[in-house]
Structure 1
Amino acid sequence: MTANDAAGPTLLPAAALAGRNDPADRILATAYELFSRRGIRGVGVNELISSSGVSKATFYRHFPSKDALVLAFLGLRDQVWTVDLIVAEARRRGTTAEERLLAIFDVFGDWFQREDFEACTFINVLLEMGPDHPLGKASIGYLTRIRGHIQALAEEAGLNLPEEFARSWHILMKGSIISAAEGDALASRRARQMARWLIEHHRSL
């Protein structure tokens, strides 16, 4: 089994989307790959148009602005990364809520080894655009949704102060992603150990 197989669905659904005849899908597939790898400001509209093989009129008919396309990209990223990869795979790997929480870092461990690992898009866009920019605000919203998934698992596990737990757990998630981007091959394992301590702490409160 390869790292990509272990980590579940691909993080770059460009091939699947690009194979469709709908121009909007081709544009979004192109944007997903380029934005994921190079950020928002590093990719211009002209490149998006030429790489997706559509006319300028077609592009703006489906996406009135670059920001509109970025918002669609963030929504797709939430589905592909948060829901289909992290949450679904962690739930598949664990038989109890506590095991599912810890499995998040097992999924991360596989993800960190992938050639297409590009850290957390929502963090990247937030830092690139700033918290007051509409795209930064959208990224904050998606990060909040991630905490919501964690809080739900904490409630299933019967942990005390599940909202506080989710915030602390999210710090471990974000910290491990940054550490992996720095080159720490054991980032997910270190975070998983700290995660065990956090679970124990919230059971004893």
Structure 2
Amino acid sequence: MRLVVDRGLPEATTLTPAGERILAAASTLFYEQGIRTVGVDTIAEAAEVTKKTLYDRFGSKDKLIAAYLDRRNRVWHAFLDEQLAARAPGTPEEVILALFSALTDWIAGSRKGCGFINASVELAAPDHPAMPVIVGQKQWMRSEFKAQASLAGLADPDELADRLLLLHEGALVSFRVAAMERAPEVAWRAAADLLAGWPRV
């Protein structure tokens, strides 16, 4: 079994070497220190470019933030593909649980929690260029849960997808905010119980 929902990702933009350095530096700094606390001067210095080069490549800090989250989203999807290939789930229910299992390994390398949730807290403006990336990432997760539930023949896949997304995102928030180290494992067990008791069509 595999992921079935269209990723909806536009073709990745090809960057110059300087653009790649800027995006790499911004990605590390935004995630580790926070989007609002990191200025373009700091990013330019870390990338060993001028501020003019940064603006020439990305146009604005806001567009650089959007590029950072777009890149992180692509990394997340590639990570999920690797996880599913390694776990080889055989049923849609196993795909759903594999998505929860993947959180354990993802969080191990992402100690600051979910970059998308963190960004949504910092970016208050609903028309910020990065908001479609943030919202799209969460909507895609819900759509994948719904699609797998439908393939499994489970009743009311919309309601089930809502509950699964709450468990998935709740694990990310609990890990970061409540210092709940085993949040992904707890969420996996809750999802397994939910699936086991869910009625079929």
Give the alignment of 1:81-120 within 5 angstroms. 81=76, 83-86=77-80, 88-90=82-84, 92-93=86-87, 94-114=89-109, 116-120=110-114
Say if 2:93 and 2:148, in contact at 8 Å, map to a contact too. Answer: yes
Alignment partner of 1:66 is 2:61 = yes
Structure 1: distance between partners of 2:71 and 2:142? 18
SS in 2 for 1:203: coil
Shift of 1:75: 0.8
Code of the aligned partner of 1:121 = G
Deviation at 1:123?
A: 1.0
1:128 corresponds to which of 83, 102, 122: 122
- Report the Cα distance in structure 2 between the residues aligned to 1:105 and 1:170, rounded to whole angstroms: 10
Identity of aligned residues (%): 32
User: Quick one: which of 171, 188, 194 aligns to 1:198?
Assistant: 194
- Secondary structure of 2:199's partner? helix
1:52 matched to 2:37? no
1:26 aligns with 2:6: no
Distance 2:135 2:169 in 1: 13
Whole-angstrom CA distance in 2 between matches of 1:125 and 1:113: 19
Rounded Cα–Cα distance in structure 1 between residues aligned with 2:120 and 2:100: 23
- 1:7 match: none
1:39 equivalent to 2:38? Answer no
Deviation at 1:131, TM superposition (A): 5.8
Is 1:188 the counterpart of 2:178 in the alignment? no
Cα distance in 2 for partners of 1:67, 1:118 equals: 21
- Aligned pair in 2 of structure 1 residues 78, 131: CA closer, same or farther (>3 Å)? same
Q: Distance in 2 between matches of 1:132 and 1:173?
A: 23
2:3 aligned partner: none
- Report the TM-score, using the length of structure 1 for normalisation: 0.80
The answer as to whether partners of 2:171 and 2:187 remain within 8 angstroms in 1 is yes
Distance (Å, rounded) in 2 between the aligned partners of 1:88 and 1:32: 22
Provide the alpha-carbon RMSD of the alignment.
2.1
- Say whether the 8 Å CA contact 2:113–2:173 is kept in structure 1: yes
Q: 1:177 aligns with which of 172, 185, 189?
A: 172
**What is the one-letter code of the residue matched to 2:149?**
A
**Partner of 1:164 in structure 2?**
159
The aligned amino acid for 2:123 is M
CA deviation after TM superposition for structure 1 residue 37, in Å: 1.3
Structure 1 residue 173, shift from structure 2 partner: 0.7
TM-score normalised according to structure 2 size: 0.81
User: 1 or 2 for the larger relative contact order (CA 8 Å, sep ≥6)?
Assistant: 2
Deviation at 1:151, TM superposition (A): 2.1
* Unmatched tracts of structure 1, length 5 or more: 1-19
- Higher helix residue share: 1
Corresponding letter in the other structure for 1:195: A
Cα 1:203/1:188, change in 2 over 3 Å: same
